[in-house]
Amino acid sequence: MLKSIIYKEWIKIRWAVIVSFLVVFITLIYVQLEIRHYIELMTAFSNWLYIIQRKMLYYEIFKYFPLIIGGVISILQFVPEMSKHRMRLSYHLPISEKKLLLSMTSVGFSLLIVNLAIIVGGLVGISYIYYPAEIVQSLLITILPWLLGGIGVYFLTSTIILEPSWIYRIILMIITFAFMKLLFMESGYNEYQFSIWKYLLIIVFFPLMVLFPGHRFRKGIN
Amino acid sequence: MENVIELKNLTHKYDDKLVLNNLNLSVKKGRIFGILGKNGMGKTTTINILMGFLRPTSGVCKVLGEDSHNISPKTRARIGLLHEGHIAYDFMTIKQVEKFYSNFFTTWKKEYYYELVNKLHLKENHRISNMSCGQRSQVVLGLIFAQDPELMILDDYSMGLDPGYRSLFVDYLKEFVSTSEKTVLMTSHIIQDMEKIIDDAIIMGYQKLLLHTSLKNFKKSFHCYQVPKSSSTDNLQTDNTISNIETIKTKINIYSFKTISEIKKYLKSKNVSLETLKEIPLGLEDAFIGLTGKY
Amino acid sequence: MLNKISRYVIILLIIVVAAIYLPNFYWMVFQKSVRSPSIYYSPIKDDFVYRQWNRLTGSKYYDADGNTITDKEFRIALPFYYYRDLAKWGELPDSVKTIKFDHDELRKEMQMLRINADDFHDPLIQLWPLIESKPKYAKLSMPNEFFRITDRIEFFDPDSNKVKKEMSEMFTNSMKEKGFKFPDKFIFGNPTTRKSFDEGYFIVDNDNYTYHLKKIEGKPFCVKTTIPRNLDIKRIFIYEDTRKEFYGLLFTNSNDVYLITYNNYELIKAPLEDYNPDKMKFVMIADPLFRTFNFSDDEKSTSIVTDRNYNLIDKFEISGTPKENTITGKIAKTIFPFKIDTYSRNTEYINFDIKINYLLGLIGILISLIIFFIISRKKQFNYKENWFDIVIIALTGVYGLITVLIIKPGYWD
């Protein structure tokens, strides 16, 4: 049964996943070219100085990538299910609603994680060519809230789409916007160093969020 | 024989609006059962409750012995649903959708599905979203047949189908049901089709059941009598004898389950002239409309 | 069960978002803009004068007794700051106290340092450029490498992204010779070329001794300073100022401020009281006659004046009412039993700090509970299934009340 669920989710999102892999890959190349260009133009020293003192985030182009990828995967997974009440087909499958929803989101979440891992791996790999460990470390700390933003948006968007009532949807949209804003407030590096675990502690529970809209759909609560 | 579906005092309100009022109904195994009624009489609500997508405000709705709003996955496998508009996973192809469903059911009968779908002469990688409504209905029916469920709930199967596909659908369904002990509960607006297939039916009226019988019985026992309009006919009202009254210019149509002699006696007591009283022959659809009213 | 938990996750999220945004919205609507006054010591009046800015009235000027003075009077009282204005008006005195008025001399004698709370809380990558302190040319220029300190000092060449072995060894050995215990605890410096000379870095070693490290003609210059090791240093700010009176200011974790005397590293303690570097703005002004230390937050602005030898002359305080203590603030505390702060101007970091309003917050929670019981009595609330809703309101007050009422329970059967 799980195999079938994975199969269906994969059919819905495979193109988006492939396209996002490509876009991430091209953007990584762009970031590397930009670093090289900068170094040739202004010397490596001033490039480092810009990064360290002026707090230039040379990877900032990726800032909203996790958010967009998370949102798109969620939309592609759940909008086809909710349009024309197609979710009724899924909820009638001989599998519990909870298992179904958690399996569906696991598929999207896994592919999102793979995507994020490529971004992180690519950036770390490129950074190690040009920068010392301190800068690479600050990169990791600085993009962590963005990555969490992508994960958060994935589950929040899924919750919004799965929710049958439009009033709840609008409330959840506002909450999503407000919460996501909190993860993208930085003006330099390492600013979430001491608080990110608290945000993580909230986001850890997000995967469970999709169950309540499922319950509401099943019981016909509007 | 056991009851596959059992409704007891089923009541549903949307906020404070009462839609179903103490509905009682049971469907026996092996029967093909129709729910008829005009729009807004709670047909969709009843179907939603039966399908398990609405928790009733009060009362009981048991399907295969379980509360429909809390039906177990195991029991779900024994129920085939056809949703209004022939909902299907549009983003899948003929082959993909079969592959997807087959893993969920131990008794999956692939051949039933392809028997139906092959008649469409489409390629296996044809996407459902690129099909006509009729073609899609075949795919959906094929999937339900392949699931080989004990109970089928078919909501408005005729919606969007042209007469060809409609009769095809009915033919296949009839054929499928006749060879096994299946129970079917269906709704439709096309009364003639229902006549061909349904054993029993209910006709739903505003907050009440208008009728629970076989269609044959209904057609036989429901009559329309016509008299000219006069001052005495203006006092006629629906009651135990008269199910519905319709005024067409200078004539009055009286719908009733009573025989012609009973109605004559009744009208005489109301001082209605019986001179030109005549019975108008009714088709099933006319009878249905006569019972439920046009508005 | 999981469905119930799922609902509570949604409720928790809404409460968190509400606790972050709603108190801010509240203050946006009700707060009048207040700025702390700027206080100065007038050598003419031998007393303080101050300026208060307000969005409605603009700048207003006062003397130490709180009497309004004019803009012109204010400037005349402060000839060291406003001598250009005074010259234009023909009001410039020949001398102030013992000081003869000379523009060029004056400019050399003036120094102003500003340190904000967020300067103490700023994430910085610990890679530092070591500027040549005896440059070949008139201007300072950036070096070609950054250093880091681990169990040795390492100089990184950005071009190759590799350690410069020779240079690293040379500096490590020099520092070891002076007794430096690797690794370091802190590195403090002012790595910019926009200054007239360079004093390198003050580095606290693993034994809490402070070393002074410079690069002179490419060679290490390392001095073990006499700064006591038991000082519990919070931060050293280096200021290469042409006055060359001190290297900079040293802040300790017990909120003391010291000046590090030029050349001999002797510490002079600034006579400050109730200064909190984590919350306050700090300004030090040196003029030909006095040293002024100003520090302020919403609650209080303090100005302390000393003579040139840092002997206390006078002290001045203006207390404002912090917004929390106004009626508006008390209402806010009652409505919101707690709030979550993510942004603060006292730090460059982004927080997630829960601030609880104990007593007034409890009153708000009680009111929220009463409102909930009244509303839920009408709506036949299922207490047995949803008792945790009440726990949530009891813990989060108005946030929980609104959220629980909006995100209604499901059918838990």
What average pLDDT does the structure give for chain C? 92
Domain that holds residue B208: 3-88+149-217
More confident call, B195 vs C277: C277
Q: Is residue B64 part of a domain?
A: yes
Question: Strand runs (DSSP E) across C15-56, as ranges?
Answer: 38-42, 47-54
Q: Give ∠ CA C347-C353-C359 in degrees, rounded to 5.
A: 125
What pLDDT, on the 0 to 100 scale, is given for residue B167? 85
Q: B180 pLDDT exceeds 60?
A: yes
* Range in A4-8, A102-106, B44-48, B99-103 with the lowest mean pLDDT: B44-48
Q: Is residue B198 part of a domain?
A: yes
Q: Are A182 and C20 inside 8 Å of each other by CB? A: yes
B174 and B261 co-located in one domain: no
Q: Are A48 and C343 inside 8 Å of each other by CB? A: no
Phi, psi (rounded to 5 degrees) for A220? 65, 30
Over the stretch C162-194, which tens digit does the pLDDT of each residue have? 999 999 999 999 999 999 999 999 999 999 999
Which of C277, C302, C319 finishes a domain? C319
Q: Smallest Cα–Cα separation from B218: which of B156, B162, B283, B158? A: B283
User: What's the pLDDT band for A125 if we cut at 50, 70, 90?
Assistant: very high
C340 and C380 co-located in one domain: yes
**Cα–Cα distance for residue pair C49/C179, rounded to 1 Å:** 50
C97 and C211 co-located in one domain: no
Q: Is residue C383 part of a domain?
A: yes
Phi, psi (rounded to 5 degrees) for C403? -65, -45
Assigned token pair, C44: 């003419």
**Cα–Cα distance for residue pair A69/A23, rounded to 1 Å:** 10
Which of C284, C319, C354 finishes a domain? C319
Which of B177, B193, B217 finishes a domain? B217
What pLDDT, on the 0 to 100 scale, is given for residue B233? 78
What average pLDDT does the structure give for chain A? 95
What average pLDDT does the structure give for chain B? 87
B213 and B232 co-located in one domain: no
B233 and B207 co-located in one domain: no
B158 and B286 co-located in one domain: no
Assigned token pair, B178: 């006749």
Interface of B with C (CB under 8 A): 55, 69-70
C172 and C28 co-located in one domain: no
Mean pLDDT, range B2-12, rounded to an integer: 91
**Residue A9 to chain B, least CA–CA distance (Å):** 10
Number of other residues whose CB lies within 10 A of the CB of residue C313 = 16
Report the relative pairing of strands C128-129 and C111-115 from DSSP bridges. unpaired
**Cα–Cα distance for residue pair B81/A89, rounded to 1 Å:** 8
Write the DSSP assignment of C133-158 as a string of letters: SS-SSSS----S-EEEESSSEEEEET
* Range in B226-240, C14-28, C172-186, C263-277 with the lowest mean pLDDT: B226-240
**Cα–Cα distance for residue pair C241/C110, rounded to 1 Å:** 10
**Candidate from A1, A84, A94 with C-beta closest to B74:** A94
Let me know: does C153 contact C175? Beta carbons within 8 Å.
yes
C26 and C141 co-located in one domain: no
B288 and B164 co-located in one domain: no
Q: Is residue B105 part of a domain?
A: no
**Cα–Cα distance for residue pair C187/C52, rounded to 1 Å:** 38
**Residue C42 to chain A, least CA–CA distance (Å):** 38
The fraction of chain A above a pLDDT of 70, given in percent, is 100
CATH of the domain at B165: 3.40.50.300
Q: Is residue C412 part of a domain?
A: no
B10: helix, coil or strand?
strand
Q: Is residue C176 part of a domain?
A: yes
Q: Smallest Cα–Cα separation from B149: which of A117, C358, C382, A92? A: A92
B160 and B248 co-located in one domain: no
B71 and B202 co-located in one domain: yes
Mean pLDDT, range C323-349, rounded to an integer: 90
B67 and B35 co-located in one domain: yes
C314 and C358 co-located in one domain: no
B286 and B166 co-located in one domain: no
B72-81 burial by CB neighbour count: b if 16+ within 10 A, else e?
Answer: ebebbbbbbb
Exposure of B147 in the CB half-sphere (CA atoms within 13 A): 27
Query: Which residues in chain B touch residue C413, judged by CB atoms under 8 angstroms apart?
Result: 69-70
What pLDDT, on the 0 to 100 scale, is given for residue B67? 93
Count of domains observed in chain C: 3
Mean pLDDT, range A181-187, rounded to an integer: 95
Which residues make Cβ contacts (< 8 Å) with residue B230, sequence separation at least 6? B272, B273
Report the relative pairing of strands B32-37 and B183-187 from DSSP bridges. parallel
Q: Give ∠ CA B158-B163-B164 in degrees, rounded to 5.
A: 110
Q: Are A88 and B100 inside 8 Å of each other by CB? A: no
Q: Is residue B260 part of a domain?
A: yes
Query: Which residues in chain C touch residue B70, judged by CB atoms under 8 angstroms apart?
Result: 413
For the CA atoms of chain C, what is the radius of gyration?
Answer: 29
C6 and C45 co-located in one domain: no
What pLDDT, on the 0 to 100 scale, is given for residue C282? 96
Phi, psi (rounded to 5 degrees) for B79? -120, 130
Q: Give ∠ CA C117-C121-C123 in degrees, rounded to 5.
A: 145
C164 and C222 co-located in one domain: yes
C123: helix, coil or strand?
coil
For the CA atoms of chain A, what is the radius of gyration?
Answer: 20
H or E element in which residue B246 lies:
strand B242-248
Q: What is the DSSP letter of C349?
A: S
Q: Is residue C124 part of a domain?
A: yes
Long-range Cβ contacts of C42-48 (<8 Å, 24+ apart) = C42/C77, C42/C78, C43/C79, C43/C80, C43/C96, C43/C97, C43/C287, C43/C289, C43/C290, C44/C76, C44/C77, C44/C78, C44/C79, C44/C96, C45/C77, C47/C314, C48/C303, C48/C305, C48/C314, C48/C316
Count of domains observed in chain B: 2
User: Nearest residue of A to residue B68 by CA position?
Assistant: A219
Query: Which residues in chain B touch residue A88, judged by CB atoms under 8 angstroms apart?
Result: 51, 53, 81, 83, 87
What pLDDT, on the 0 to 100 scale, is given for residue B295? 64
**Residue C23 to chain A, least CA–CA distance (Å):** 14
Cis-peptide into C183, omega within 30 deg: yes
Total residue length of chain A: 222
Q: Is residue B49 part of a domain?
A: yes
Across the A:B interface, residue pairs with CB atoms under 8 Å apart total 71
One-letter-per-residue 3-state SS of A60-111: HHHCCHHHHHHHHHHHHHHHHHHHHHCHHHHHHCCCCHHHHHHHHHHHHHHH
In this complex, is the C-beta atom of B87 within 8 Å of any C-beta atom belonging to chain A? yes
Q: C220 pLDDT exceeds 70?
A: yes
Q: B138 pLDDT exceeds 60?
A: yes
C203 and C95 co-located in one domain: no
Q: Is residue C218 part of a domain?
A: yes
Over the stretch C68-101, which tens digit does the pLDDT of each residue have? 999 999 999 998 888 888 888 888 888 888 778 7
User: Nearest residue of B to residue C411 by CA position?
Assistant: B55
Residue A130 C-alpha from the chain's centroid: 27
Q: Are B92 and A8 inside 8 Å of each other by CB? A: yes
Q: Smallest Cα–Cα separation from B100: which of A80, A162, A90, A76? A: A90
Q: Are C9 and A206 inside 8 Å of each other by CB? A: yes
Q: C: neighbours with 3+ CB pairs under 8 Å?
A: A, B
B169 and B81 co-located in one domain: yes
**Cα–Cα distance for residue pair A139/A113, rounded to 1 Å:** 18
Mean pLDDT, range A2-24, rounded to an integer: 95
Let me know: does C163 contact C127? Beta carbons within 8 Å.
no
B210 and B231 co-located in one domain: no
Let me know: does A35 contact A46? Beta carbons within 8 Å.
no
Assigned token pair, C208: 């809490």
Mean pLDDT, range B59-83, rounded to an integer: 93
C23 and C44 co-located in one domain: no
**Residue B168 to chain C, least CA–CA distance (Å):** 41
Which residues make Cβ contacts (< 8 Å) with residue C253, sequence separation at least 6? C232, C233, C234
Which of B217, B249, B277 finishes a domain? B217
**Residue B96 to chain A, least CA–CA distance (Å):** 8
Which of C109, C124, C140 finishes a domain? C109
Q: What is the DSSP letter of A189?
A: S
Number of other residues whose CB lies within 10 A of the CB of residue B3 = 17
Tokens 């629906």 -> residue: B238
C138 and C198 co-located in one domain: yes
Q: Smallest Cα–Cα separation from A146: which of A210, A82, A95, A199? A: A199
* Range in A152-156, A196-200, B201-205, C201-205 with the lowest mean pLDDT: B201-205
Mean pLDDT, range C305-311, rounded to an integer: 94
Q: Testing the interface with B: which of A90, A93, A101, A167 to mutate, by most B Cβ within 10 A?
A: A93
C315 and C211 co-located in one domain: yes
Q: Is residue B67 part of a domain?
A: yes
Q: Is residue B138 part of a domain?
A: no
Mean pLDDT, range B153-179, rounded to an integer: 85
C152 and C176 co-located in one domain: yes
Which of B169, B187, B217 finishes a domain? B217
Q: Give the burial class of B22: count Cβ atoms within 10 A of its Cβ; 0-12 exposed, 13-18 middle, 19 or more buried.
A: middle
B77 and B175 co-located in one domain: yes
**Cα–Cα distance for residue pair B174/C38, rounded to 1 Å:** 93
Domain that holds residue C298: 111-319
Question: Strand runs (DSSP E) across B15-127, as ranges?
Answer: 17-28, 32-37, 58-63, 66-67, 79-82
H or E element in which residue C249 lies:
strand C246-252
Assigned token pair, C285: 């002004």
**Residue A71 to chain C, least CA–CA distance (Å):** 18
Assigned token pair, B290: 């006569």
